[in-house]
């Protein structure tokens, strides 16, 4: 079997990269090789995983500096003798080895506006059409791997922004709620303010790394920025709202 040289981060913040030589097969993924490492040379290696199918979002890490799912990074892209650095996600506090504490994301999940449906129709029913919810369904593909949160330079390189910025994963959640045909949230004037939309400079790294292929920037962030501009910066819209013409959502 061919062999690669793995440089894996071991320990907590004061840890270091350790080098291992591990056999692999062309048909495998990085996670297989990490498992082989764990069973043959480093039994105490901490690594999170569940489905090995790119669906649970547990195995997020950085492979040669690229935020990726270990179970979706194929060994066929490497050749025998290659050096592969495997690091934990940078943006979240490190627990041990490849495992980070992603609790900050759960806090943001509570912080962003949640779906509150409008009044029911007179017959007591809620009605919506498929065509109206298609946009939001793209965002249902999210597997909560938090790779987008990890790569976003707003918090990756400037941790002090974590207080004012919920991150791309939660921008898609906000978009899902804000664009829903039955929601009542977007009617509130501050529905989009205070979550850090204006910190995003649309450089699209979140879209680039998303394993679910969600067009985070084009279909969630920019449309939300435009909606925020409607509310905040557009005098024509402001006038329209005063005299009650224009977009009725």
Partner 1 sequence: MKVINKNQFIITYFNLYGVKLVTQSTQEESLLNRYGKTLRTDRWWFEPLLVGIGLFLFIMYSTVSAAILGNYWSYEIGPYLSPFFEPLFYTDVIPKWVSPAIFILWAPLSFRMTCYYYRRAYYRSYFLSPPACAVREPANSYAGESTVPLIVQNIHRFAMYGALIFVPILWNGAIRSFYWEGEIGIGVGSLILTLNAFLLSGYTLGCHSFRHLVGGGLNSFTGSKYQVIRKKVWDMVSSLNAHHKKWAWSSLIIVGFSDLYVHMVAAEWIVDFNTWGSFF
Instruction: Give the binding site for partner 1 (CB under 8 A).
Output: 9, 13-14, 62, 64-67, 85, 87, 90, 128-129, 131-132, 151, 153-154, 156-161, 178-181, 183, 186, 196, 198-205, 208-209, 215, 218, 222-223, 226-227, 229-230, 232-234, 247-249
Output 56 or 133, the one with its CB closest to ligand FES.
56
69 is a contact residue toward ligand FES (CB under 6 A): yes
Find tokens 């929601």 and name the residue: 183
CB 69 within 8 A of CB 58: no
Smallest distance, Å, CB 181 to partner 1?
A: 5
- Residue 176: CB atoms within 10 A of its CB come to 21
Cβ proximity to partner 1, 22 vs 222, nearer residue: 222
User: Residue 125: which residues within 8 A CB-CB, separation 6 or more?
Assistant: none
Using the contact rule CB under 6 A, the part of the chain among 50-58, 75-83, 95-103, 165-173 near ligand FES is 50-58
Whether residue 68 contacts residue 61, with contact meaning beta carbons closer than 8 Å, is answered with yes
Q: Which is nearer to ligand FES, 71 or 86 (CB)?
A: 71
162 to 91, 146, 150, 158, 200: CA distances (angstroms): 10, 14, 12, 8, 12
89 or 112: CB nearest partner 1? 89
Alpha-helical (H) ranges within the chain are 30-40, 103-111, 130-139, 147-151, 153-156, 168-178, 205-209, 222-232, 235-242
Residues between 83 and 142 that touch ligand SF4 (CB under 6 A): 142
CA distances 38 to 8, 31, 44, 47, 186, Å, are 11, 10, 7, 9, 49
Cβ atoms of residues 40 and 34 within 8 Å: no
The region of 11-19, 49-57, 78-86, 230-238 touching ligand FES under the rule CB under 6 A is: 49-57
Q: Of partner 1, ligand SF4, ligand FES, none, which one sits near residue 13, judging by CB under 5 to 8 A according to partner kind?
A: partner 1
Residues that bind ligand FES (CB under 6 A): 49-52, 54-59, 69, 71
């Amino acid at each position: 079997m061919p062999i690669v040289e793995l440089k894996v981060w071991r320990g907590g913040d004061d840890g270091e990269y350790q080098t291992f030589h591990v056999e692999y097969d062309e048909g495998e993924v990085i996670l297989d090789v990490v498992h082989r490492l764990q069973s043959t040379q480093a039994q105490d290696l901490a690594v999170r995983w569940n489905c090995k199918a790119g669906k649970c979002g547990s195995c997020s890490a950085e492979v040669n500096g690229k935020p990726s799912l270990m179970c979706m990074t194929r060994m066929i892209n490497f050749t025998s003798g290659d050096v592969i650095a495997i690091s934990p996600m940078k943006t979240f506090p490190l627990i041990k080895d490849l495992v980070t504490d992603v609790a900050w994301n759960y806090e943001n999940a509570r912080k962003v506006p949640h779906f509150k449906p409008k009044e029911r129709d007179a017959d007591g029913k809620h009605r919506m059409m498929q065509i109206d919810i298609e946009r939001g369904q793209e965002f249902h593909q999210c597997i909560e791997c938090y790779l987008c949160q990890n790569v976003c330079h707003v918090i990756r390189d400037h941790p002090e922004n974590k207080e004012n910025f919920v991150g791309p994963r939660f921008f898609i959640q906000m978009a899902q709620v804000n664009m829903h045909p039955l929601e009542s949230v977007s009617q509130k004037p501050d529905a989009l303010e205070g979550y850090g939309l204006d910190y995003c400079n649309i450089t699209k790294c979140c879209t680039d790394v998303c394993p679910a292929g969600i067009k985070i920037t084009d279909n969630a962030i920019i449309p939300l920025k435009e909606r925020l501009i409607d509310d905040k910066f557009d005098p024509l819209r402001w006038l329209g709202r005063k005299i009650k013409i224009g977009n009725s959502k």
